[in-house]
Amino acid sequence: MTTPPATDRLAELAASLAAVRHRIARACAEVGRDPSAVDLLVVTKTFPVSDVAALTDLGITDFAENRDSEAARKVADLAVLRPGVSPRWQMVGRLQRNKARSVARWAHQVQSVDSPRLVDALAVAASAGIATGERAGPLNVLIQVSIDGDPARGGCLIAESLGLADRVAEADSLRLRGVMAVAPLGMPPADAFERLAEVAARLRERHPVATVLSAGMSGDLESAIRYGSTCVRVGTAVLGGRPLASP
């Protein structure tokens, strides 16, 4: 039994999605990029599963969460609300090693990998998930880089990123896909994304499969697209203001 979302909310989400897609298209046009090269990842943290269901009705296939427990619950609840739909879920938040096993059950990709110990924990967890059939295949991984070197918001130092990428590439149960960053507060986003693009290019030289550059959120996606983002992570511009403070 599929419960249709409230029509008001559906219309609201359809309108904000159209506006975000318009922003993406315009930003791509300004720098001569093909908008189909920029994936829209909708960050649903703190929003109810009914919104996720509505967004799947509107054709969205990629969602992100920043907490394992909230994500695991939403994934299970969505399977009840929309049994025929299986979107790709991604982890974008800070992740403790003891959550690796759980994340490997629901995540298609983890964007927030920033330490060797987390790489190892995810490799073991994904490998176990593959062995038990909980996972169909390897866990996709992005290396999260801290542009300003401040560890407060997660991410490894730029100098550590290549070593971390090598470690992911060596794990059979993980698949290195690229890099992710959040623009630091004390720096113009363009400077941060320019620096990130250099990190991404260096990583791609060594690992040509690592083509994903995850950068840009509701407030700065145009700047990120200008510097080559292939994945914008958008929460509030699609869903509205978050009901709770969320890191």
Ligand X SMILES: *Cc1c(COP(=O)(O)O)cnc(C)c1O
The answer to the question of residue 16 lying near ligand X (CB under 6 A) is no
Compute φ and ψ for 213, nearest 5 degrees: -125, 100
Judged by CB under 6 A, which stretch of 117-125, 161-169, 197-205, 229-237 contacts ligand X?
229-237
Among 78, 213, 217, 231, binds ligand X (CB under 6 A): 217
Minimum distance of ligand X from residue 3's CB (angstroms): 26
Judged by CB under 6 A, which stretch of 16-24, 28-36, 127-135, 214-222 contacts ligand X?
214-222
Among 27, 43, 103, 122, binds ligand X (CB under 6 A): 43
Judged by CB under 6 A, which stretch of 55-63, 160-168, 198-206, 230-238 contacts ligand X?
230-238
Minimum distance of ligand X from residue 80's CB (angstroms): 25
Minimum distance of ligand X from residue 152's CB (angstroms): 13
Total residues at interface with ligand X (CB under 6 A)? 14
The answer to the question of residue 182 lying near ligand X (CB under 6 A) is yes
Residues that bind ligand X (CB under 6 A): 43, 45, 66, 92-93, 182, 217-219, 233-237
